[in-house]
Amino acid sequence: MKKIFNIGFIGCGRIAGHHFKALEKNKSFNVTCICDLDFKKAEPYVRKYNVKFYSHYKLMLKSEKNLDIVAIMTPSGMHFEHALYIIKNYNLDIIVEKPTFLKTSQVNNIYKIATRKKNKIFPIFQNRYNPAVKRLKKAIDIGELGEIRVISVRVRWCRPQRYYDLSVWRGTYSHDGGALTNQGIHHLDLLRNLFGEIKKINSNMRTFGAKIEVEDSVTANLEFTSGAIGSLEILTSARPKDYEASISVVGSKGLAQLGGWAVNELQIFSPKPNECKKFTEKIPDAYGFGHYDLYKDIAKDKLGKKKFNIDFRECYKTIQLLNSFYVSSEKKKTILVNKVIDSKKLGRKNEKISKIYR
């Protein structure tokens, strides 16, 4: 008989709906319970999926004796605290939404504890599963584009003040991070996934379009360990709408570009232009369909069939890269990525906000 894993959700924001949709087609999981401080956010899921609701995650964990895994979808700055509590007190596996954790040291600490207690951590970087991304990765791996020379990332989105005013944690260093951490994290992860490690970064961060403490505009120059160079532009200060989100690469044999809301489009692929349509997905929103395949891989890992492809090193390196942009901006100089541990600003303590979600 096929094993079914009982899963509970902590946090019922918009992303929870995508987890539910992904699990509608995955018979390895049974969502038994959800929790949120605001019942209005959870109510649609309670009605549609007939799951138990709790007003606090500690009450949910204490009451539900048969959970196998918990998905953490709370404000980014609470991920570490929530993960630590679950693993230490209930010895459960966890799924953690982006950006996993805000600090590199947090990644290191939580994985050490999870390894000791034989728990598994499954970070969410669903855009790795996009057909367009997988096709570009294959092209790079087999040399279709030749030697990789220049890489560019451009995210030009609009997040007005009313977006940040939705919740007290938004736009804070302690619980959110800015354009790079919240909106750009998937593009940072794909830089590593597709092109290898980045050696040096020189970044500039500014706040132009909203009254927030974090950045809404980032530019940077990059140098990869492979010798390739690159540029990055990630911002939420574009007005009056979202314009572009792309990753382009120039190689010695050709050029390729990914685009769309969630890098779901293969827009340019000079080695085989006719494949652009084949490897382009139409998606309803910026989340795409990657959660479907991601949950399949989580199930395979828990069933002992195949190890989950985003392990400690992958998670650590992506969060280290994230912190590197902040460190470079803070120090106003070019920095070596592999020497970075934590930014002074990103993930700093704010007990006033933490108490709300604790």
- Which three-class secondary structure state does DSSP give residue 40? helix
Fold classification of 5-126+292-309 is Rossmann fold (3.40.50)
Locus of tokens 């479907």: 292
**Over 50: is that where the pLDDT of 1 sits?**
no
Beta strands in 17-82 (DSSP E): 29-35, 52-54, 69-72
- Tens digits of residue pLDDT in 103-129: 999 999 999 999 999 999 999 999 999
Q: Concatenated DSSP letters for 317-345?
A: HHHHHHHHHHHHHHHTS-EEGGG----SS
Structure confidence at residue 50 (pLDDT)? 94
**Over 50: is that where the pLDDT of 291 sits?**
yes
The torsion angles phi and psi of 320, rounded to 5 degrees, stand at -65, -40
Q: pLDDT class for 287, splitting at 50, 70, 90?
A: confident
Structure confidence at residue 285 (pLDDT)? 76
- Tens digits of residue pLDDT in 141-169: 999 999 999 999 999 999 999 999 999 99
In CATH terms, the superfamily for domain 129-285+315-339 is Dihydrodipicolinate Reductase; domain 2 (3.30.360.10)
Torsion sign (Cα): 102, 105, 108, 113: negative
Structure confidence at residue 2 (pLDDT)? 59
131: preceding bond cis by omega (within 30 degrees):
no
Question: Mean pLDDT, to the nearest integer, of 210-219?
Answer: 98
Structure confidence at residue 208 (pLDDT)? 98
- Tens digits of residue pLDDT in 29-79: 999 999 999 999 999 999 999 999 999 999 999 999 999 999 999 999 999
Q: Report domain extents, the chain.
A: 5-126+292-309, 129-285+315-339
Pairing relationship of beta strands 29-35 and 52-54 according to DSSP bridges = parallel
**Over 90: is that where the pLDDT of 309 sits?**
yes
Alpha carbons 179 and 108: distance in angstroms, whole number: 24
